[in-house]
Structure 1
Amino acid sequence: MASAVLDAPATTKVDQLDRIRLELATLNQISDNEKQGFLKLIGRYLSGKSEAIQWENIKAPTDEVVVPYDKLADFSDDPVKIKSLLDKLAVLKLNGGLGTTMGCTGPKSVIEVRNGLTFLDLIVKQIENLNHTYNANVPLVLMNSFNTHEDTLQIVERYADSKLEVITFNQSQYPRVVAEDMVPWPAKGKTDNAGWYPPGHGDVFPSLANTGKLDELIAQGKEYVFIANSDNLGAIVDLKILNHLVENQNEYCMEVTPKTLADVKGGTLISYEDRVQLLEIAQVPDEHVNEFKSIDKFKIFNTNNMWVNLKAIKRLVEADALQMEIIPNPKEVDGVKVLQLETAAGAAIRFFDRAIGVNVPRSRFLPVKATSDLLLVQSDLYTVQNGAVVRNRARTIPQNPSIELSGEFKKVGDFLKRFKSIPSIIELDSLKVSGDVWFGENIVLKGKVIVEAAKGEKLVLPDDATIEDKVVKE
C-alpha cells in the first residue's frame, strides 16, 4: 500500500528512526518484542518504499485459486474422520474491539445478540457443541487488546465449568506518534490509554508467536487456526473447508463471498505475479477506483474469515517475512493530530504457500457493526441452533432486507427501548426509519417501508400493525 511519508526537513529518515528508538527505550509499559515490532513497522513507513500495484498485471483468479464452495469435495460424515479433523483445529476470534460505536462500554463481543446471549456466549456454545458431538478438543483462542483484556478475563470466568479450553492473549500495544514530529506520544507524557493503540489484526501472527500461544497450540497437535472477527455471526467452523485445506496442504485460505453494491469498497482477491493477493481500495490508482468498485469485474470481497496453518505462521514470523502493506490511520485524539500504523491479516495471504480463497455462501458473512444489523439478527429472520445463527427458510429472497435507522437508534440501549418487540421482517425488502419513532408489539413489516417522525414529534406505531409498502408519517 502506498503511504505518504510526512516531511521532516530538519532530519533524515535515519535520524528520525534513531530518535524514535531512543524515545521508545524510555517507555516501560511495553515489552521488548513490542518495541522491536513497532520500530520495524515505523522504519518501513519512514523509508517511503511501497510496492505499487501495476494495474495491467492484475489477473482474475481462476477456480483453482478461488475455489467455489460447491466444488469442495464432500467427505465422509464418519464421526472418527470428523474428530480427527477437529483435533487439528483451533478457533481464534479477534476480540480487541470496543462497542463504543454502538454506545457500549467494554468489549464488543459482550453485546447481547439474541435471547440474552452475547457474541461470546454464542461462540462458546458453537464450539462446545462440536466438542461434545465428536468428542473433540477444539480450543477457543481470544486475541484481546489492552482495551479489552481485563474485561475479557472477567467474562471468560463464566465458562470455567464448560468443557472448553479458552485461551487468551493480548495483541501488541504500540504508541501513537504525534503527526507533526513523529515522536511517540507517550514519550511526550501521554501515558494513559489514549497514547497507545492496537496495530490492526495483521498483528495476530507475531503476537501469537511472541506470547508463546503459537508454540502451545502446535504442541497440542493443532495444525490450523480459523481466524474471524468476533462480531461475524456467520463465521462458524466449516468442516468442508478444513478438510480441503488438510487434503491439499494449503497454508492459508481466505473466505470471500459475492460482492453486492453494499460491499464495493471491500478488499478482493486477485492473481498477481503468479501469487494470490489481496487488493484493497487504498492500493488502487485513482483512475481505476470505479473499475475496482464494479461488481462485474471484481465479483468477490474478503469476509475476514481466514484459515491458516500454524507451522507456516511460525516459519514466516521467525523469518520476519510477513511484510504486510502498512495502513496509515491518522486521527485527532484530545485535540492532537496523531498517526497510527496498522496491518491487516488478509494482506498476509501472498506470503503463504499454496494459498487459496474459497468463495463461500453469503450466510458466512453476517457481521453486526450497527444496530441496523442487530435488528436483522434479533428478528424472525434468524433462529439460534447450538449457538449458530441460522437463517429462516421462510425467507425466499436471497438478500437480507436493507435497514436504515436514524441516530435515535444508534446506541444499543436506545435501540432496545424503542421496540416493544422486534417486528416480523420475513417479507420486508427495505426499512428506513427517521426521527423519534417507537414500535409496538407484534408489528409485521412487508415490502418497502418508510417511517418518518416529524421534527420535535413522537411517532408510535401501534401493536399488531401490519405495514406493507407504505410511507408512515406523523
Structure 2
Amino acid sequence: MRKSPLLQQVFDYRALPESDRFKQFALKMEAHNLPPIVINIFKYYYSLLLSGSQGKMAEADITPISPDDLKDYLELDAYEAAGRKALPKVAIIKLNGGLGTSMGLETAKSLLAIKAETCFLDVIIEQVERLRERYDIPVPLTLMNSFHTHSDSMLAIEGFDNGRTRVPLAFIQHMYPKIMRDTFLPARWPKNPELEWNPPGHGDLYTAMVTSKTLKRLEESGFEYAFISNSDNLGAVMDLKILGYMASEDLPFLMEVAQRTPADKKGGHLCKVKESGRLALREVAQCPDEELAEFQNIEKYAFFNTNSIWINLKVLEKVFAYHGMMPLDLIANHKTLDPRDPDSPPVIQVETAMGSAISAFHTAAAVRVPRTRFAPVKTSNDLLNVMSDNFILSTDYEIVPNPERNRGPVLVDLDPTFYKKVDDFQDRFPDGVPSLLNCTTFTVRGDVRFKGGVACRGNVLVENRTGHQVVVGPEDLAEENARLVLE
C-alpha cells in the first residue's frame, strides 16, 4: 500500500543525538511500556509544537455548515429495515476513561448512581442485554478505559461477557507526557510523578484499538461497523435508523450533531475546511483567542458534535495504515502541571479529539439528531435533573424524558460552593431529590439541605443568606413559583 508522507515509519529514537529534546520523551515513554507507534505519533505532534503550531483553526480557513449539508434524523425512517439487517455487524464502544474529577469523584464517572442504585454502566449493560434478547443477536460491548478507570469498571461489569463473539470487554487508552511550556522538555514532578502524564484525549481511541488488537479482533469476528459514544451520555443508544443510513449509503464515518443552544457555545462545532471542502470539527482549544466570539456564535456555527460517531472498521484500518496513524488535529492544552495548584509550572498537554477524524474520510457525513440523543451528565445540575422525576427508565432500560412533563427542559442552577462535588450534593439530598416534573427553573443559593418529598412547581428559588446550613421541607416550597429567601 502507498504510504502517506504525514508520518515517518517507526524510527530508532535511541539513535537520536543527546541534544535532541525528543529523545528524553521517547525514553520516558518507552520506560512506561508505551508502544513504538504511540511514541511515533507523539513525536509527530511534538514536532508540530516545535514548529510553532498551536493547533489553531482560524476563521479564514473554515466556513459554517448549513442545514442542507446534513441529513436530518427525521428523514431516516426508510433506513430502519437496513439497520435491522446490519445489526449483526455492529459493535458498541463506550468511552469510559473519565474520572469525573470536576465533580469530586475518584473512581470512574460511569459508576456514579443516577437512578436509585443504578449507575451509568448498569444502564449500558442492561441496554445491551435487552438489545441482544430482542433481536437474538450477540451485539458486543467494549469499553475504552483509562488506567484510572479500568479496575473499578471491570469489577462493576463482572459477570457480563461478549459470548461467542470473542470481542474483548475493554481496552485501555494510552498516556502522553506533559511538556514544560518554557523548555519543551518532559515535565518533572517528583512529589507526584503521576502528574507528569496526561490523558491524550478520546482521539487516542483509534490508536488504542490498533495497539490492543481490538480492531483486528472485531474484523476477524465479522464486525463491519462500530457505534462509539461517551459512557455518560444517556441519550447515546443503538439506533437502527442511523445504522441503516450508515450501511445503505456506504458511509465510512458518520457524526451525530445537534443544534447548538447558548448552553453549548463552548463545545466543539462542525464546520467545513475551505481548502479541501471536507467536514471538520473545531474545539474551543483550537480557536484563536481573538476569534472566540465568532466560535461562540451559535447562529453562525449552528451544529455541535455530540461525540457519538459511527465508523466503518475496514475503512478505519485502511486510513490508519495509509497514514501510520489517524490524522487528527492537534489540540495544545495549556495547563498547570498540578491542576489543583495554580502556582505549579505551566505545561502543554498534547491531546486529540475523536471527532476530528471526520476530516480524514473523503465521504464522511453528519446527521442532525434530536436533543434526546445528547443527554450527558457533566455537572451536579445535570445529575439532579436526571435523578429527578423528569426522567424515567423505559422498558428498554433507556433513561428518557418523562412523558408526563408538559413543559420545556428545566433549568437547574445549584450553588457550586455546596453542590459541585458529588459527596456534598448527596449530603444535601439525603432522602431523595425534589420532584421537578412541573418545575421550570430551580435555583439554589447558599447551603441548603432538602428533606424528602419536596415538589417544585414553576420557577423556584431558594436562597440562604444566614451563613449556616438550613433545612427545607415540602411545606416550604408548596406554592407554585415559590421564592424562599432566608436571612
* TM over 0.5, shorter chain: yes
Asked if 1:384 corresponds to 2:384, the answer is no
Deviation at 1:298, TM superposition (A): 2.1
Between 242-251 and 284-293, report the one with greater CA deviation: 284-293
SS of 1:416's partner is: helix
Asked if 1:404 corresponds to 2:414, the answer is yes
CA gap 1:46/1:435 in 2 versus in 1, 3 angstroms = same
Other-structure match for 2:463: 452
Other-structure match for 2:481: 469
Q: Distance in 1 between matches of 2:271 and 2:161?
A: 43
Asked if 1:315 corresponds to 2:315, the answer is no
Q: Distance in 2 between matches of 1:132 and 1:198?
A: 36
Matches within 5 A, 1:290-309: 290-309=293-312
Other-structure match for 2:446: 435
Between 22-31 and 421-430, report the one with greater CA deviation: 22-31
Q: Is the CA contact (8 Å cut-off) linking 2:393 and 2:400 kept in structure 1? A: yes
Q: Is the CA contact (8 Å cut-off) linking 1:444 and 1:467 kept in structure 2? A: no
The percentage of counterpart residues that share the same residue type is: 35
CA gap 1:446/1:172 in 2 versus in 1, 3 angstroms = same
Q: Distance in 1 between matches of 2:73 and 2:159?
A: 36
Between 407-416 and 303-312, report the one with greater CA deviation: 407-416
Other-structure match for 2:42: 38
Other-structure match for 2:3: none
Between 246-255 and 397-406, report the one with greater CA deviation: 397-406
SS of 1:366's partner is: coil
SS of 2:158's partner is: helix
Q: Distance in 1 between matches of 2:148 and 2:388?
A: 31
Matches within 5 A, 1:144-183: 144-159=145-160, 167-183=169-185
Asked if 1:116 corresponds to 2:117, the answer is yes
Q: Distance in 2 between matches of 1:22 and 1:325?
A: 24
Q: Distance in 2 between matches of 1:461 and 1:315?
A: 60
SS of 2:20's partner is: helix
Q: Is the CA contact (8 Å cut-off) linking 2:83 and 2:242 kept in structure 1? A: no
Other-structure match for 1:424: 435
Deviation at 1:145, TM superposition (A): 1.3
Give, as a single letter, the amino acid of the residue that structure 2 aligns with 1:458.
Answer: Q
Q: TM-score, normalised by structure 2?
A: 0.87
Per-residue Cα deviation, 1:179-236 (whole angstroms, up to 9, x for no partner):
23222236x8678322212200111111111111001111111111111111111111
Q: Distance in 2 between matches of 1:324 and 1:152?
A: 28
Q: Is the CA contact (8 Å cut-off) linking 1:83 and 1:136 kept in structure 2? A: no
SS of 2:37's partner is: helix
Q: Is the CA contact (8 Å cut-off) linking 1:83 and 1:135 kept in structure 2? A: no
SS of 2:425's partner is: helix
CA gap 1:192/1:463 in 2 versus in 1, 3 angstroms = same
CA gap 1:395/1:166 in 2 versus in 1, 3 angstroms = farther
Other-structure match for 1:65: 69
Per-residue Cα deviation, 1:239-281 (whole angstroms, up to 9, x for no partner):
1111001000111111111111111122222233321112333
Between 377-386 and 454-463, report the one with greater CA deviation: 454-463
Q: Is the CA contact (8 Å cut-off) linking 1:124 and 1:387 kept in structure 2? A: no
Stretches of structure 1 that go unaligned for 5 or more consecutive residues are 1-13
Q: Distance in 2 between matches of 1:391 and 1:162?
A: 32
Other-structure match for 1:337: 346
Other-structure match for 1:246: 247
CA gap 1:379/1:201 in 2 versus in 1, 3 angstroms = same
Q: Distance in 2 between matches of 1:105 and 1:163?
A: 34
CA gap 1:173/1:50 in 2 versus in 1, 3 angstroms = closer
Q: Distance in 2 between matches of 1:226 and 1:184?
A: 36
Other-structure match for 1:3: none
Q: Give the total of aligned pairs.
A: 457
Q: Is the CA contact (8 Å cut-off) linking 1:278 and 1:346 kept in structure 2? A: yes
Q: Distance in 2 between matches of 1:377 and 1:221?
A: 37
Give, as a single letter, the amino acid of the residue that structure 2 aligns with 1:130.
Answer: L
Q: Is the CA contact (8 Å cut-off) linking 1:73 and 1:244 kept in structure 2? A: no
Q: Distance in 2 between matches of 1:287 and 1:179?
A: 21
Stretches of structure 2 that go unaligned for 5 or more consecutive residues are 1-15, 339-343
Q: Is the CA contact (8 Å cut-off) linking 2:140 and 2:162 kept in structure 1? A: no
Matches within 5 A, 1:211-222: 211-222=212-223
Other-structure match for 1:350: 359
Q: Distance in 2 between matches of 1:436 and 1:392?
A: 29
Q: TM-score, normalised by structure 1?
A: 0.89
Q: Distance in 1 between matches of 2:55 and 2:380?
A: 38
CA gap 1:16/1:229 in 2 versus in 1, 3 angstroms = farther
Q: Is the CA contact (8 Å cut-off) linking 2:228 and 2:308 kept in structure 1? A: yes
Q: Distance in 2 between matches of 1:331 and 1:55?
A: 24
Q: Is the CA contact (8 Å cut-off) linking 2:460 and 2:482 kept in structure 1? A: yes
Other-structure match for 1:200: 201
Q: Is the CA contact (8 Å cut-off) linking 1:372 and 1:405 kept in structure 2? A: no
